[in-house]
Amino acid sequence: PPVSMGVIPAGATAHIVVSLAAQQKLAQGAVLAVSLEPSGGSPTGQPTGPVVAAGDLKSI
């Protein structure tokens, strides 16, 4: 199931700190996606808006 990684400020380049709990859920083959949400983030903790970007997580 989707897990929120945080809120990205609109119109800006940002550095997002990913919590240890979220980091532990990241694994090779996971998919990261960005969805448009209301100000402050999704009220449900799950995506409610359209996904505007997505990609597979790869180790480097």
Task: End-to-end CA distance of the chain: give it in Å, rounded.
Answer: 25
Task: Convert the pLDDT of each residue in 6-57 to its tens digit.
Answer: 888 877 787 888 888 888 888 877 898 999 999 888 888 889 999 999 999 8
* Residue predicted with more confidence, 5 or 37: 37
Q: Virtual CA dihedral for 11, 52, 38, 26, nearest 10 degrees?
A: -100
Hunting for tokens 């119109």 — which residue is that?
A: 11
Q: What is the pTM of this model?
A: 0.72
